[in-house]
């Protein structure tokens, strides 16, 4: 039954420049977010033979290739860890980050039929893509633990920090994805930029090499890449040999916070014209 004189009043006006973030409306949509995440998970491995095994295979196969190329042939230093473990510890968060970034950036364009037919907080689409990926991250993290056991490495108690690093990885993916997703609606060029961006970003992150290789004077600049701290964090959790995150981590959080806030405002500004231009 409709409430008499309901409290909800919607006012519709032409957009004027930067608008404040409507966090209350966003919070009210948590159920829809849940369904969008669920849908993304259910659809991801539909009509694939291996199904969720892809979440396991992707980092494992990349680990094998990296081990041969960078571990055996290039003989890169691996902080005293066996190279496969060294690579996998980085590939687990990195694979999550790369997939989440790509999927969130394409989320609006791929679901354009929703944008033009129904209203809901648009932010839910990229956010759902980033959250859905966390399930794959959890699966591949278990694989990492298995590989550690295989090599007889006992993870340290620092492992309890994994949710914090997962969160940082999620925020690192969401922040640029907000910009890219909004731009993608207008310029389909973005779709082609993403794989390239991810590739460059891979080399700016200590995935195949150790961050100790980076010269001291470049460290502050290097630390602005939050994924660097995530990868270092994962290595630090499994092996006490890795260096503890400190100043770099603070810088990473700061850079993510700034990029994310700016991204939210940018997204908010752009979202009003999504249905017009998609």
Partner 1 sequence: MGHAVIRAERLGKQYRISQVRGPRTLREDLVDLARAPFRRRGSAGASADDATVWALREVSLEIQRGEVVGIIGGNGAGKSTLLKILSRIVAPTEGWAQIEGRVGSLLEAGTGFHSELTGRENVYMSGAILGMRKAEIDRKFDEIIAFADVGPFLDTPVKRYSSGMQVRLAFAVAAHLEPEVLIVDEVLAVGDAEFQKKCLGRMQDVARSDGRTVLFVSHNMDAVQRLCTRAVLLERGRSIAAGATPAIVAQYLARDDAPSSSGAWIDLSSVERTGTGVARVVQARYWSEDTVAGGHPYPDGPLTVGLTIETASACTIPSLAVTLYDMLGTKLVNADTIAAGRTLRLEPGEHRVTLRIPELHLNPGVYRMGFWLAGPLGAIYDYVPIGFELEVAGLQAPGLGRAPTDDGMVTCRLELMDAD
Packing angle, helices 124-150 and 83-110, rounded to 10:
160
Using CB under 8 A, pick the residue from 98, 100, 115, 180 that binds partner 1. Answer: 115
Q: By three-state DSSP, how is residue 82 classified?
A: coil
Cβ closest to partner 1, residue 125 vs residue 175: 125
C-alpha to C-alpha distance for 111 and 278, rounded to whole angstroms? 10
Residue 165 CA neighbour count, 13 Å, CB half: 29
Q: What kind and span of H or E run contains 176?
A: helix 162-186
Site for partner 1 in 30-49 (CB under 8 A): 31-32, 34-35, 39, 42-43, 46-47
114 binds partner 1 (CB under 8 A): yes
Site for partner 1 in 127-186 (CB under 8 A): 185-186
C-alpha to C-alpha distance for 98 and 100, rounded to whole angstroms? 6
Using CB under 8 A, pick the residue from 150, 151, 187, 203 that binds partner 1. Answer: 187
Phi, psi of 175 (to 5 degrees): -60, -55
27 binds partner 1 (CB under 8 A): no
196 binds partner 1 (CB under 8 A): no
Q: What is the radius of gyration, based on Cα positions, of the chain?
A: 20
Distance in Å, CB of 2 to partner 1, minimum: 4
17 binds partner 1 (CB under 8 A): no
Using CB under 8 A, pick the residue from 188, 240, 250, 261 that binds partner 1. Answer: 188
Provide the token pair at 160.
């309890």
- Helix/strand/coil (H/E/C) assignment for every residue in 249-265: HHHHHHHHHHHHHHHHH
24 binds partner 1 (CB under 8 A): no
Residues that bind partner 1 in the complex, under the rule CB under 8 A:
1-3, 5-6, 8-15, 31-32, 34-35, 39, 42-43, 46-47, 113-120, 185-190, 272-273, 275-278
């Amino acid at each position: 039954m409709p409430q008499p004189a309901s409290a909800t009043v919607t006012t519709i006006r032409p957009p004027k420049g930067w608008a404040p973030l409507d966090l209350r409306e966003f919070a009210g949509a948590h159920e829809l977010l849940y369904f969008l995440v669920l849908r993304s998970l259910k659809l991801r491995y539909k009509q694939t033979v291996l199904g969720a095994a892809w979440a396991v295979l992707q980092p494992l196969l990349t680990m094998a290739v990296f081990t041969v190329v960078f571990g055996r042939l290039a003989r890169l230093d691996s902080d005293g860890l066996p190279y496969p473990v060294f690579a996998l510890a980085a590939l687990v968060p990195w694979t999550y980050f790369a997939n989440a970034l790509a999927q969130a950036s394409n989320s609006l364009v791929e679901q354009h039929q929703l944008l033009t037919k129904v209203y809901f907080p648009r932010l839910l689409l990229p956010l759902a893509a980033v959250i859905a990926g966390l399930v794959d991250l959890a699966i591949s993290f278990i694989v990492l633990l298995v590989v550690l056991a295989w090599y007889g490495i006992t993870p340290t108690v620092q492992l309890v920090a994994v949710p914090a690093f997962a969160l940082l990885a999620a925020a690192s993916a969401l922040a640029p994805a907000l910009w890219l997703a909004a731009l993608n609606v207008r310029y389909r060029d973005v779709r082609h930029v993403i794989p390239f961006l991810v590739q460059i970003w891979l080399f700016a992150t200590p995935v195949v090499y150790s961050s100790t290789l980076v010269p001291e004077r470049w460290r502050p600049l290097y630390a602005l890449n939050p994924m660097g701290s995530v990868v270092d964090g994962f290595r630090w959790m499994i092996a006490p040999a890795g260096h503890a995150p400190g100043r770099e981590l603070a810088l990473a959080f700061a850079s993510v916070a700034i990029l994310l806030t700016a991204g939210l405002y940018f997204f908010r500004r752009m979202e009003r014209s999504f249905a017009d231009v998609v």
